[in-house]
Structure 1
């Protein structure tokens, strides 16, 4: 990443955080001093002077360590930290491995967590989590919103506008079926919405065929196998899928 780009991101991130803190202060004036300190610390840490003192791994483009750190926190269910870490990777190299998939996964799960927090009325903690998630997720989207369909889809996803996100990602696939990372993003949404329509099944089938989403292969295979059974399919692909489902059930019985 060039220094000029990092400086622009620094200024923008500070502005976003100040707006966020101002909004929180209006709702929770008793926490105004704490919120102001948070904003000052974050803004100071992102000044151009401090940007020049980035860790060696980031300044030289060695982002593998960051990527692995993101994988660990993602597997541990720390969605906010995963989002922050993968955003750092994306700033340095937006095409690094499957970082866009990981970003979408973290955003999707964090959004579900935020919805749960909102329903339980956890107040300030919910607002702070929401603020930080929006703070980090907004940076790569601002300026790319009109230019990048993927960024636009991620933005909708973070807002919880799953319908718009699905339409955006499905449009991307219709034009660029070779963008395999989009299949995983769509599968996450389809599974969350319990979708089993033709569009969802096409995505699920492609994921199984190319092993694009090993973390959820078993769940997806079960959905596709049940669909094949209901349709009476007996081709080679259907038989393979149904055999996997049968083996999974046998293993569950043995381990149960």
Structure 2
């Protein structure tokens, strides 16, 4: 009566761990066989099936496997050893994969590798004759035929300030220019006013900073409109610098608020006093 036992797929990990010991004790040589690439189109139904049969116990281990590959297998040992391995693509990250099975036995045996769809063969099997006491590594190249390179979509709208050159020039040119103008006006106003304090200097500076922020806001808005026209009608790959427009809007709002409160509190009265 034939007796045997089943080695579940979960023991393949253990076989990987003991494979070097098997190689040293059973085999004095090793060979590598590379198969023709096998193409999988439907990862939900198709997989690679490797079955083997021999008169002595056959040790199989996963010597190497790319990420995204899952190997399951089992074997039955009795008067003869019968086993199989199923190789699946479970995570599509590339167009090509490689899975290497290491096999050894004290007697020669044959391994048949083919593509299956469900339980039906989907390609002609490739056969490998494994000699006795020689560890044979079978490299199985796998191609995913339905793979498409991921398309990365870049949003044309930048919501954070990127400070393009034209906006940097606007800030760098206008703010110093208006501050210099405020300094020159302070000298002329001090000679015309009977009293002048540091508070008046602050008020004059706020006024000219508000003017500069208003001009910067107008220029940045015009730049954003120009970018939109280029993207919309000419399909130029230009990012819409919305973040820089929001920054100029925030600066204008802040200085406008300070300027409005100052007007309401009358801090500009001495500056606006008629000669």
TM-score between the two structures when normalised by the length of structure 2: 0.20
Tell me which protein shows more helix as a share of its residues.
Answer: 1
Tell me which protein shows more strand as a share of its residues.
Answer: 2
Name which one, 1 or 2, has greater alpha-carbon Rg.
2
Higher RCO (C-alpha 8 Å, min separation 6) = 2
TM-score between the two structures when normalised by the length of structure 1: 0.21
